[in-house]
A and B are shown apart, each in its own frame.
Chain A
Amino acid sequence: MAATETFYDVIRRQGVTRRSFVKFCSLTAASMGLGATGAVDMAQALETNERVPVIWMHGLECTCCSESFIRSAHPLVKDVVLSMISLDYDDTLMAAAGHQAEAILEETKAKYKGKYILAVEGNPPLNEGGMFCIDGGKPFVEKLKWMAEDAMAIIAWGACASWGCVQAAKPNPTQATPIDKVITNKPIIKVPGCPPIAEVMTGVVTFITTFGRLPELDRQGRPKMFYSQRIHDKCYRRPHFDAGQFVEEWDDEGARKGYCLYKMGCKGPTTYNACSTVRWNNGVSFPIQSGHGCIGCSEDGFWDKGPFYERLSNIHPFGVEANADKIGFAVAGTVGVAVAAHAGITAVKRITTKGSGSTDGGPPA
Chain B
Amino acid sequence: MSRIIVGPFNRVEGDLELTLDIADGRVEAARVTTPLYRGFEQILAGRPAADALVVAPRICGICSLSQSIAAASALRALEGLVPAPNGELATNIAHAAENIADHLTHFYLFFMPDFARREYADAPWFAAVEPRFKAVSGAAASAVLPARTRLLHIMGLIAGKWPHSLAIQPGGVTRTLDLGEKMRLIAIIAEFRSFIETTLFAAPLEAVTSIESIAALDDFVEGAGAGGDFATFMRLARALKLDELGRGSNPLMSFGAYASQAGALFSAGVYTPRTGENTSLALGLIEEDVACAYMRDSSPDPALAQTIPDADREGAYSWAKAPRLDKSPAEVGALARQAVDGNKLARALLAQKGASSVMSRVVARMIEIARLTQAAGDWARALRLQDPFCVAAAKFVEGQSAGMIEAARGSLGHWVTVKNDVIERYQIIAPTTWNFSPRDGQGVPGPLEQALVGVETGDLGARAPAIQHVVRSFDPCMVCTAH
B60: chain A residues within 8 A (beta carbon)? 62-64
**CA separation between A165 and B173, bound complex, in Å?**
25
Q: Quick one: which of B38, B61, B160, B468 contacts A174, CB cutoff 8 A?
A: B38
A interface, by DSSP: helix, strand, loop or mixed? loop
Could you tell me if B148 and A135 are in contact, using CB atoms closer than 8 angstroms? no
- State whether B172 touches A133 (Cβ < 8 A): no
- Give the residue name and chain of the A residue nearest to B6 (CB): A98
**A308 an interface residue at 8 Å Cβ cutoff?**
yes
> Which of B9, B13, B136 is close to A98, meaning CB atoms less than 8 Å apart?
B9
Taken residue by residue from 35 to 59, chain B's Cβ proximity to chain A (1 for < 8 Å, 0 otherwise) reads as: 1111110110011101101110011
B residues within 8 A CB of A103? Answer: none
| CB within 8 Å of A: which B284-318 residues | 309, 311
A242 interfacial contact with B, CB 8 Å = no
Interface pairs (12), CB distance under 8 Å: A64-B164, A82-B136, A93-B109, A93-B135, A98-B6, A128-B311, A173-B43, A195-B163, A250-B393, A251-B390, A287-B167, A307-B51
Output the nearest chain B residue to A99 by Cβ-Cβ distance.
Answer: B462
Tell me whether A93 and B172 are in contact (CB under 8 A).
no
* Interface residue tally for chain A (C-beta within 8 Å): 77
User: What is the CA–CA distance of A62 and B42 in the complex, to the nearest angstrom?
Assistant: 17
Within 8 A of A (CB), among B222-255: none
* Complex-state Cα separation, A269 to B59, whole angstroms: 27
Which of A58, A250, A297 is in CB contact (< 8 Å) with B164? A297
CB-CB under 8 A from B46, the residues of chain A are 170
- The segment out of A17-25, A65-73, A232-240 that lies at the interface is A65-73
Cα-based distance from A73 to B173 in the complex (angstroms)? 26
**Taking the complex as formed, is B261 at the interface, i.e. its CB lies under 8 A from any CB of chain A?**
no
Q: Are A64 and B166 in contact (CB under 8 A)?
A: no
Question: Are B51 and A309 in contact, CB atoms less than 8 angstroms apart?
Answer: yes
Indicate whether A91 sits within 8 Å of B7 (C-beta atoms), given known contacts A166-B55, A285-B161, A309-B50: no
**Distance of A291 Cα from B148 Cα, bound (Å):** 24
CB distance B10 to A251 under 8 Å? Answer: no
Interface segment among A47-55, A274-282, A322-330: the answer is A274-282
Q: Are B50 and A290 in contact (CB under 8 A)?
A: no
- Determine whether A94 belongs to the interface, using a CB cutoff of 8 Å to chain B: yes
Looking at the assembled complex, report how far the CB atom of A63 sits from the nearest CB atom of chain B, in whole angstroms.
4
Q: Which residues of A contact B134 (CB under 8 A)?
A: 95
Q: Which residues of A contact B148 (CB under 8 A)?
A: 71
A111: interface (CB < 8 Å): no
Task: Give chain B nearest CB distance to A267 CB in angstroms.
Answer: 11
Contacts of B436 in A (CB 8 A): none
Contact with A along B372-399 (1 / 0, CB 8 A): 0000000000000000111111000000
A255–B176 CB distance below 8 A: yes
B390 shortest CB reach to chain A, Å? 4
B 415-451 contacts with A by CB, 8 A: none
Closest B residue to A310 by beta carbon equals B48
Residues of B within 8 A of A174 (CB): 37-39
Q: Is the CB of B152 within 8 A of A281?
A: yes
- A250: B residues at CB distance < 8 A: 169, 171-172, 174, 390, 392-393
| Sample of 10 more A-B contacts, CB < 8 Å, known A195-B164, A281-B161 | A62-B62, A64-B62, A71-B145, A92-B13, A95-B137, A128-B309, A133-B36, A174-B38, A249-B392, A280-B156
CB-CB under 8 A from B124, the residues of chain A are none
A332 contacts B by Cβ under 8 Å? no
User: Does A96 make an interface contact (CB < 8 A)?
Assistant: yes
Which residue of the partner chain, among A67, A132, A279, contacts B38 with CB atoms under 8 Å?
A132
Closest Cβ of chain A to B457, distance in Å, is 13
Among A71, A169, A279, A293, point to the contact of B152 (Cβ < 8 A): A71
Q: Given A63-B61, A92-B11, A173-B39, A78 and B146 touching (CB < 8 A)?
A: yes
Q: Mark B1-37, 1 if CB is under 8 A from A, else 0.
A: 0000111111111110100000000000000010111
Shortest distance from the beta carbon of A312 to any chain B beta carbon, whole Å: 15
Mask of B151-168 contacts with A, CB within 8 angstroms, 1/0: 011011111111111110
Contact A63 B62 (CB under 8 A): yes
Residues in A with CB closer than 8 Å to B176 are: 251, 255-256, 291
- Are A61 and B479 neighbours in the complex by a CB distance under 8 Å? yes
Are B156 and A282 in contact, with the CB atoms below 8 A?
yes
**Which residues in A have their C-beta under 8 angstroms from that of B269?**
none
A83 contact set on B, CB distance < 8 A: 136-137
Q: Does A183 contact B (CB under 8 A)?
A: no
List residues of chain B with CB within 8 A of the CB of A292.
160, 166-167, 174-175
Asked whether B403 is an interface residue with its Cβ less than 8 Å from the other chain, the reply is no
Judge if B113 is at the interface, Cβ distance under 8 Å.
yes
Give the residues in chain A near B174, CB-CB below 8 Å: 250-251, 255, 290-292
In the complex, whether B64 has a CB less than 8 A from a CB of chain A is yes
Contact, CB under 8 Å: A280 / B37? no
| Chain B residues positioned under 8 Å from A170 (CB to CB) | 43, 46
**A residues less than 8 Å from B9 (CB atoms):** 97-98
- Judged by a CB distance under 8 angstroms, whether B84 is at the interface is yes
A-B pairs, top 8 by smallest CB distance, nearest first, are A64-B61, A290-B160, A284-B156, A173-B39, A281-B156, A95-B135, A291-B174, A134-B35
Whether B214 is near chain A, meaning CB under 8 Å from some CB there, is no
Q: Is the CB of A62 within 8 A of B35?
A: no
Query: A173 touching B172 by the CB < 8 A rule?
Result: no
With an 8 A cutoff between CB atoms, is B142 at the interface? yes
Which residues from chain A contact B163 at a C-beta distance below 8 Å? 62, 64, 67-68, 195
Shortest CB-to-CB span from A80 to chain B, Å, is 11
Provide the bound-state CA to CA distance between A43 and B457, in Å. Answer: 49
**B352 near A: Cβ within 8 Å?**
no
Most buried by A among B50, B136, B158, B171: B136
A275 adjacent to B50 (CB under 8 Å)? no
State whether the Cβ of A303 lies closer than 8 Å to any Cβ in chain B.
yes
Quote the shortest CB–CB distance from B199 to chain A (angstroms).
Answer: 15
B141 interface contact, C-beta 8 A: yes
